[in-house]
Structure 1
């Protein structure tokens, strides 16, 4: 049976909205399923490992992790060491306080801006009432709070929103970190009939059980590994071809969607 790892606190401080101060601690709200690939020397099949070595010493002995520090590199290549104590003294209010700068409708936030989500848990009995108050108020109004927070050595914009009775703090990209699409989209016109059929197809396909969807990549990778061990090959799935007649493809799609409904 899989053992769930305890949620580790990654930030502790307060959320301030108006004169209300809400002590919270943040824990990661998601966990990614990592791939199992390893780096390999393609010539002889040997495992490739990376070593921590010091350029100044010019030796190949690996540096113990405890001797590794962080630094800021200047334009001339010099390194200025930065310690944990230095970062604690950083004159940045958002290190321990996420002040709500204002509230906006949740629909105003472009989903492309969303970053890493964290659950904000009340930190101590005194936080319970303001925590419930903020969470329920956001749920009732459909608004989200916009704040700034310094987490993992970076200051970020963040959005506060409710999820199943819990407050979520999700980082946002700064506006200059989002690229504009430019002219990537085509300007080819479509007909009214094609738009009508496309809308009908969407209505037929409305509704999906997200919990029933699974990541099939891991299973496919297991099949590939098993086939290589046995000296065989996994058959490659054909790539779907674009429809020659868009209108016919839409009509057939609508009919197929109707037949597949229970």
Structure 2
């Protein structure tokens, strides 16, 4: 069921403009959340700030943001100063340029949103912008104020609509040279690659979102449902033991064993 859009405005490309609305493409509505409770009374527990030195509670009016500047010294910033830095949304997504599909690496993609035309009169203009990107294999780049901050966003045609991805800021993406191997790894042999291709073929399936369901959430729901029914919960099945760390396995033997296993499973 469609939810109420959290953003409404206009999509603009040169002189072409249309009214649009946008909704988050992901949700955590089904994720289990807990409250902290008092075991003795069954009442919820409230959180209150306390002075780290005196231990005394701090009133809400005395709370202020602080930026560390070394030692126990801080730069204090009032709410009015932080509000002055925040940006007001202009509610216009104006496409500034286009880049080829795939030119922007996945690591820059942050949060996806669904963009759709907001009124019948703008559907044709929306479709023109969407299909033009699709036919030219390009994505649009724009700037948009969301959550009181300006974001570079990427517009990608998807089905009958457009997916708007907020892009990470430059200082949020770490340099891969600092984390990935600096030297080339040994080249695998053709025989190993051929066996691995067979294993991959045997494990290739159509995409199904059930593959990435959260098993912890499923177990928690089972526990909660059992408690609701006031029945004694059965002990969870033990997890399979992981191979001991540090074991050195011959890659060819492992590939051949995996291929045999996948063949038996197919049978």
Same fold, judged at TM 0.5 (above) = yes
Task: Mark the runs of 5 or more structure 1 residues left unpaired by the alignment.
Answer: none
1:14 to 10, 14, 35: 10
C-alpha distance in 2 between matches for 1:234 and 1:190: 43
The two structures have a TM-score, normalised by structure 2, of 0.73
Corresponding position of 2:259: 254
CA contact (8 A) 1:72 1:81 kept: no
Corresponding position of 2:164: 169
2:31 to 17, 30, 34: 34
Q: What do residues 190-214 of structure 1 show as CA deviations (whole Å, max 9, x unaligned)?
A: 5313333223322333332314434
1:157 to 116, 133, 152: 152
Q: How does 1:235-254 map to 2 (within 5 A)?
A: 235-241=237-243, 244-254=249-259
C-alpha distance in 1 between matches for 2:256 and 2:221: 38
The two structures have a TM-score, normalised by structure 1, of 0.74
Corresponding position of 2:70: none
CA contact (8 A) 2:64 2:77 kept: no
Q: CA deviation at 1:36?
A: 3.1
Corresponding position of 1:216: 215
CA contact (8 A) 2:143 2:150 kept: yes
For 2:186, what is the secondary structure of its paired residue? Answer: coil
Coordinate RMSD, CA, aligned: 3.8
Segment of structure 1 superposing worse, 172-181 or 145-154: 172-181
Q: CA deviation at 1:171?
A: 0.9
Corresponding position of 2:232: 230
Q: CA deviation at 1:243?
A: 6.8
C-alpha distance in 2 between matches for 1:24 and 1:244: 56
Task: Mark the runs of 5 or more structure 2 residues left unpaired by the alignment.
Answer: 68-73
1:202 to 200, 224, 231: 200
Aligned length: 245
